[in-house]
Structure 1
Amino acid sequence: MSDRSDMSGHLKHAMKILLALLMILILAQSAHADDWPMYMHDASRTGASDEIVEPPLELIWKYKHVEFSSSPAVSGGVVYVGSYDNNIYAFDATTGSLKWKYETGDYVTSSPAVSGGVVYVGSHDANIYALNAATGALKWKYETGDKIRSSPAVSGGIVYFISLDDYWYALDAATGALKWKYDTDYGGSGLSPAVSGGIFYGELIGDVIALDAATGVIEWKYDMNLYNSVDFLVVSGDIIYVGSNYNVGSISSDLCALDAATGTLKWKYEILEDNIELLAVSGGIVYVGSMVELYALDATTGALKWIYEPDFHLSSPLAISGDVVYVGSREIEKKWGLVEDKSEHLYALDAATGALKWKYNLGDHGIASPAISGGIVYVKSEGLFAFAPSKSEKSYSSIIFIIFSLAAGGVIFIFILYQKRKTPFKEYRAKMEEWEKKGYDVSELKEVLGDEK
């Protein structure tokens, strides 16, 4: 084979490698589409996604024909959400087109949980339903003694939830068979349980209760305060963060950081004369909010990092995406010193400083916890809204990325080509030296190779 044909072959090989490299880089440009499969993202209720969605955002679709009643869940390119018309709805996550709906016997304020191609959701008709995620067909349902307002958590093939019938439940996710139930002998709640590290966490009359997630046997309990009720449980690493509301006889709400394995108190942060309404954990920071202030605390020590004060009050649970905190906030407009109008907004705050980066007016309906998946932020307010980074932002980022990719690819291409071209000459020179030692005339070969190294 001639030197020219060798070079042609090496060139084709290098081009294939370069094209493959560029394809990998282009695919890597899109953030990993991290599902938001249940309330507050995961069974630990962290409220944080690995996916980064940076503002400014623009509305890409909305569905306003139904009064929705739960926070959305997103999995496999589909958004699932409950409603006051007794249905659970499934929408195409990109277009907002309706895929299916399933009717229960009452309101669906429980946020869906999606796992293994199945949607699990509770209803005020006292049943928890398992539906085929693609079609909405019923797989099984389990009846309890009262309404289910709690959002289920799915972990290790088990569905965990709380009913108002005094019991905490664990069901086999595949069959709906009861694995265990824990009798609180008090009354259930709408609290959504957290499950992490083989432990189920719930709240009972101001106590945080930890149960073995496989058996329902109690592991430990922590007394928050007789006068305080617990509204949020979030597990991150080896700590469970517990947010309480203050009631008569108490002067503050407490955020307690407990050892997740033993229930031992690590630190506590007091919020005077206001209830804890928001709680999420991401990147070593705990974000905890009342209606009038959002605090960022060091997750290990509880030290204050910053405080954000909205114009009126905060109104939804949190969703963390990289260095952005998404939260609902209610604003008011005044004329002549009187309140004229109130409207819900979706806020995007800088996670490091608390500074407002972007906001959007959603109307005058209540707002639920946002969900983030596939580069889109979904939120329930006066309908279901879907937001994506504005086109100008995406275009600018894409141009920068393409320029960088081409430059990097060009350097790699030249290196590969040089290496491929270099290798045969090394082989030829070695062979030439071998022949010369054996007494062959290699003068013509030397002339062809020249000074090539």
Structure 2
Amino acid sequence: MGGSTESTPLLYKGMLFIASDDGKLNAFKATGCGKAACHPKWTGDIHGPAFESSPAVSNGVIYIGSNHALSAFDANGCGAKLCSALWQAIDDNLFFGGSPAVANGRVYIPLESQVNVYDAAGCGHSVCGAVAMLFGTGMQDGIGSSPTVANGVVYAGRNSGEILAWDANCTGTCNQIWSRLLDDPIVNSSPTVVNGHVYIGGSYHGFAGRLYVFGLP
């Protein structure tokens, strides 16, 4: 790879996908190349560095966030070493955060203090706009948490010390349907939903973090 990475690799149909801060999605054969060090089978341009975003997959399409874009690629590549995205959502003024979540034909990814929602199939153009924007009321702060979608609800942490939830099927501009306040202001942890409960971590610089458990809305 041409840059460092904090991305978690995704294994899909014999390929490993991982993003790097040189602005590339890298696709490697999971079985390697017969050598100690291997080059990607193909790479894709993701419009800026991806420091912490990890890829997600649905219906043969890889979704990955970068600082200023969400990009979608055919998991089979394009037959060349460098591939263009099937479509992208681009904002050169605001920062995408966290990793995308894909559910029921939609892609969810934070864009600073909101979560943007896109049609997973794209829009028929190379650059697509959001079909919904999920906002939280009250004090605005960054959403660095990767969203989780469960039972028709989207969950994400916000660095105002909150976990927020939205209707996963809403369109246009949507406010949260539920929120809970944590005793820690930093909520970059990503929620996990299991057996009627949502679990999320919180932290405060210099102090021990805590795990929080809430009943579902």
TM-score (structure 1 length as normaliser):
0.40
CA shift digits 1:90-143 (9 cap, x unpaired): 01111255221012332112111111111111111x111111111144211112
Instruction: Write the distance in 2 (CA, Å) between the matches of 1:149 and 1:218.
Output: 19
Does the 8 Å CA contact 2:143/2:188 hold for their aligned counterparts?
no
In the other structure, the counterpart of 1:99 is 41
Which residue in the other structure is 1:246 paired with? 204
Deviation at 1:236, TM superposition (A): 1.5
**Structure 2 match to 1:418:** none
In structure 2, what is the equivalent of residue 158 of structure 1?
106
CA, structure 1 residues 65+253, in 2 after alignment: closer, same or farther (shift >3 Å)?
A: closer
Larger radius of gyration: 1
Unaligned runs of 5+ in 2: 78-82, 123-127
Partner residue of 2:85 out of 128, 138, 143: 138
1:120 alignment partner in structure 2: 63
The percent of aligned pairs where both chains have the same amino acid is: 27
Q: Tell me, in whole angstroms, the C-alpha distance in 1 between the residues paired with 2:135 and 2:178.
A: 16
Give CA deviations for 1:308-367 in whole Å, capped at 9, x if unaligned. xxxxxxxxxxxxxxxxxxxxxxxxxxxxxxxxxxxxxxxxxxxxxxxxxxxxxxxxxxxx
Q: 2:11 is aligned with what amino acid?
A: V
Structure 1 residues 349-364: aligned runs within 5 Å: none
2:162 to 207, 210, 226: 207
Kindly indicate whether the alpha-carbon contact (under 8 Å) linking 1:228 and 1:247 is maintained by their aligned counterparts in 2.
no
Aligned amino acid, residue 60 of structure 2: G
Partner of 2:212: 256
CA drift at 1:65: 6.5
CA RMSD of the aligned region, Å?
A: 2.1
Check if 1:229 corresponds to 2:179.
no
CA positional deviation for 1:229: 1.8
2:70 match: secondary structure: strand
What is the alpha-carbon distance in structure 1 between the residues aligned to residue 2 and residue 95 of structure 2?
A: 25
Separation of aligned partners in 2, 1:224 and 1:118: 35
Residue 188 (structure 1) aligned with residue 135 (structure 2): no
1:187 and 1:93 map into 2 onto residues whose CA distance is: 39
The residue matched to 1:210 in structure 2 has which SS? strand
Match of 1:37 in 2: none
> How far apart in 2 are the matches of 1:247 and 1:100?
40
**C-alpha spacing 1:203/1:66, structure 2 compared with 1 (3 Å):** closer
1:68 counterpart residue number: 5
The one-letter code sitting in structure 2 at the alignment partner of 1:78 is M
**8 Å CA contact retained: 1:228, 1:253:** no
Provide the C-alpha distance between the structure 1 equivalents of 2:19 and 2:88, rounded to a whole number of angstroms.
16
* Separation in structure 2 between the aligned mates of residue 163 and residue 177 of structure 1, nearest angstrom: 13
Deviations 1:184-227 (A, max 9, x none): 472433221111111101122111111111114422111112x4
Does the CA-based 8 Å contact 1:162-1:189 persist in structure 2? Answer: yes
Name which structure has the greater RCO, CA cutoff 8 Å, separation 6+: 1
Q: Is the 8 A contact 2:11 2:30 kept in 1?
A: yes
Shift of 1:159: 0.4
Cα gap change, 1:235/1:80 in structure 2, threshold over 3 Å: closer, same or farther?
same
Q: Segments of 4+ in structure 1 off by > 4 A?
A: none
In 1, Cα distance between equivalents of 2:156 and 2:46: 26
TM-score in terms of structure 2 length: 0.80
Structure 1 letter corresponding to 2:135: D
Q: Distance in 2 between matches of 1:245 and 1:206?
A: 9
Q: Tell me: CA distance 1:180–1:65, structure 2 relative to 1, closer, same or farther (3 Å).
A: closer
Report the residue type matching 2:120 in the other structure: A
- Secondary structure, in 3 states, of the residue corresponding to 1:119? strand
Deviations 1:270-313 (A, max 9, x none): xxxxxxxxxxxxxxxxxxxxxxxxxxxxxxxxxxxxxxxxxxxx
2:141 is aligned with 1:178: no
Residue 143 to residue 66, structure 1, CA distance change in 2 (3 Å): closer
| Contact residue 18 and residue 25 of structure 2 kept, 8 A | yes
Aligned length: 193
CA distance in 2, matches of 1:150, 1:111: 8
Residue matched to 2:15: 78
Match of 1:12 in 2: none
SS in 2 for 1:228: coil
Check whether the contact 1:120–1:130 (CA below 8 A) recurs between aligned residues: yes
